[in-house]
Every structure is written in structure tokens, then in C-alpha cells.
Amino acid sequence: MTRIYHWYDYITFNIYFLGLSTLAQTLSPLVYPLLVQQFVGEQAKGSFFGSLRLWSLMVALLAQSFWGILSDRTTLRWGRRRPYIFGGTLVNLLFIGAIGLSAGMSGSTGYIFLFIVALLLQISSNAAQAAQQALIPDLVPEEKRGRFSAFKALFEVPLPLILVSFTIGRVIGSGNMVGGILIAVVVLVISMILAMFVREQPLAQTPPPLRGAWQPFVRLVLMTALFTVVILGLGEATKFFGTLLVGINDVITLMVLFGIVGVLAMMIAVGLGVYASVRISLGDAAKSNPSFTWWVVNRLAFLVGTVNISTFVVFFLQGRLGLVREKAAGPAANLLLVVGILILISALASGWLSDRIGQKRTVAMAGIIAAIGVAIAIAVPDMTAINIGGAFLGLGTGMFYTANWALGTKLVPQAEAGRYLGISNLAGAGAGAVGAYIGGPLADIFTVRFPEIPGIGYVLLFAIYGVLILSSVVALARVNE
């Protein structure tokens, strides 16, 4: 499509990411952990939270790819993507309201209710997200995608983090969880309304019939099932390994052993899960585009670290600084503010940088800087050190989000952008599933065995995430820019 781009296109093309990410940054690091802790108690919170993350994110993986395929083939006069953004948002409101109601529940009933609603929310939310993330490859030429991707990164990460830290985190920290959720809903609805101003044109020709009509959907289900089985198997293997070490009481020895096991399990989940899943989903097309597979591996390995650090930040601060329940939400919000400001700065600068020196170099620099940040944050139980580490982490994450996405849009066929970028949600959804399901029980093991060392399990877990971030740089070498 030949079109003239205006300043407001950078906003309308990407504004819905602000709504989606504000909701995600409200639920995943603040609302879900506190509710799970309320329902199951201290000693099992990591494992139950890991299970919630695994199954909700695997549903997200399946749903986003499914909706991506459908939106690729939509011929409505309204466009291919906007109908899904609008409809998905409306259904989201129903399930978000149900999550607010669960705050008044307790015990297994509350956990089961939250679990079911979280799965349903992923189905509706990913209808909108699958459509939203295809707008740039649909409507923006390659030479402008670096700049548009910079604004995507801006709305997807730093602005939601800053917004949550200044408002929602403080409201929840004061004990008003429902009020925090309502603020996220308002941001989501306003973002959706602004996204409706994107000018789409309907497809000029009706897409050809799906090969075998049902074959892509069967591949989709098999891909998700395989990735889930890989994560489940490695998670159970990690738990079994823990039972073999029951006689060892030296904390340093156990940390080294569990650290090695955790890193290996997550690396295998990333490599094997992505390779097999992409081959199942794309079939022979995966062989002709191996760089796409390695791009997803790079993206998943990096996000396993950064996404789960955000997800477990409340538990980390509770243990590391001796904070009680909702009292950790305030310091967590301040930390998110530091991370968000640095992501904001680096995301904008790295759009220009990646167009100058190349996306691969920028992504590699991002991985090294973010890993340094993790090392600083876990070094000492001091909020100042944690904030300094968060600044490095934010700097690297902002660079990564801009440059990695710009790189990915070069690797997908434009006619099937929704399908390919939906598959790339192996990284977005898989990151939380891999890191939480395998990592959560590891933290619980140390919480139970060494209660006299506050937060030791989450220090180990964050160290594992730092190694995963570094491993993403290695995978990047196989991507042909």
C-alpha cells in the first residue's frame, strides 16, 4: 500500500500495546501473585503460580496463532485487524471483572476460579493482540519499520511500566486491588478507541482456501501441545532431581547444583520447544527460513529472563527485604518505574541505532547489558543496589524490544505476517511458561529448606534468568540478518 505517514500514525499504529501491556503489568507481577499467595499460602506459592502461568500462557500461544491465521484471511470492509482489536477488548472486560471478584475468595475455590478466568482472558486478549502486532508488517515499508518498532517498544514496555508504578502499583500497595484493576481497564478501553483510527483497506483479493481446510489448525494444536509437554516434562524432571538431593544440607552446594539443573532445563525447553514447534507449525516452510527459528530462540531465551524477573519481583522483594504481602507492591512499583524510564530512553534511541549499525549488533549489546543488570540486582539485599541493577536491565530490555522486533519483521513473509508473528508468541507466551513452571518449584524448595535465609530461592532463580539472557546472544549468531 502506497501511503503518506503522519506523526500520529506512529501513535495509532502502536497505542493498543499500551492498553494490553498495562493490563499485563497489572495482572502478572501484582494481582496474580498476591491472589495466589492468598489462596495457597507461602510455601507453595511459587509452584501454584508457575502452574497458572504455564497453562494460561500456553492457551495464549494457541489463541494468538489461531487468531493470527484468521485475521490474515479476513476480508471485511473494516479491515483485517481492527475488528479483532475491538471485539477482543469488549470480551476482555467481562473476564477482567471476574478477576476482580476473585479477590474476595479464599482457598482452593478461589485458586480454581482464578485459574479458569485467567485462561478465558487469554483467549479474548490474544484475539486483539494477534491483530495488533500485524499492523506494522501490513502497512509499513521495511525502511521505516525500525522507527515504528521503536514506538511499539515505547508503548509495549516503558510507558506501561511507568504508568503502573505511579498509579496502579501504589493503589494495590495500599490494599485496593479492585481500584488498581479498574485503572488498567480504563487505559485498555481508551487505547482500543484510538487504535480504531488506523486506516486499513480490505484485502483486494479473497485468499485461497486453506490447504486441506483444517491442516493449519491441526498443526497449531500439535505445536502448542508439544511445547507444553516439553515444559511439563522438564519441570517434573527438575522436581525429581530435587528429591535426589534431600540429604544435602549445604546451601552453596545446593545452589550450584540446582542452578546448573535450572539453566539446563530452561535451555532445553527453549531450544527443543522452539525447533520442534516451528517445524510442526510451518512444515516445509521452516526449512527455507531457518533464521526465523533462531530469531524465536533468541527472543524466547531473552524474555525467559526479563519477563519472569518482572513476574516474580513481588516474591523476590518479599523475601529479600523481609516485606509482608501487599507491602512489597510499593517497592515493586518503584523498581518498575526505574526499569520503565530506562526502557523508555533506550527504546527510542535504539530504533535509530539499530537502523545504523544493524539489528543483530543492537540485540547482542542488549543481552549483555541486561545480564549485568541482573547480577547487580541480586548481589546484595539493598533496594539501592536492586534499583541500579533494574536500570541496567531496563536499558538492555529497551534496546532488545526495539531491535529484535525490527529484525523479526524482516524475516516473516508479508502475506502471512499474522501467522508467523503469532507463532513467534512461542517467545512471548513461552517465556513466562518456561521460567515460571520450571523456576517456581525451585524457589519453593529453598524457601522450605532454608527459611532462615530470606529470599534465597528467588536469588537463585534470578541468577538462572541472567544466564538465560546471556544465552540469547549465542542463539543470535545463527540469525541471517
Q: What is the span of the domain harbouring residue 406?
A: 9-201+215-476
Query: 324 lies in a domain?
Result: yes
Q: Residue 288: phi, psi to the nearest 5? A: -85, -10
Tell me, what's the pLDDT at 97?
A: 92
Least confident of 295-309, 313-327, 358-372, 459-473: 313-327
Query: 281 lies in a domain?
Result: yes
Query: 4 lies in a domain?
Result: no
Find which of 171-185, 231-245, 310-324, 337-351 is predicted with most confidence, using mean pLDDT: 171-185
**CATH code of the domain in which 309 resides:** 1.20.1250.20
Cell digits of residue 471: 544465552
Percent with pLDDT over 90 in the chain: 17
Query: 206 lies in a domain?
Result: no
| Mean pLDDT for all residues in the chain | 82
Instruction: Count up the domains in the chain and report the number.
Output: 1
AA letter at 144: K
Query: 391 lies in a domain?
Result: yes
Cell digits of residue 246: 534431600
Cell digits of residue 20: 494490553
Query: 449 lies in a domain?
Result: yes
Helix (H, G, I), strand (E, B) or coil at 229: helix
How far is CA 10 from its chain centroid?
22
pTM, rounded to two decimals = 0.77
Query: 331 lies in a domain?
Result: yes
Tell me, what's the pLDDT at 361?
A: 85
pLDDT at residue 124 greater than cutoff 60: yes
- Buried-exposed string 370-382: b where 16+ CB fall within 10 A, e elsewhere: bbbbbebbbeeee
Query: 2 lies in a domain?
Result: no
Tell me, what's the pLDDT at 213?
A: 43
- Which residue stretches of 133-157 are H helix? 135-139, 145-156
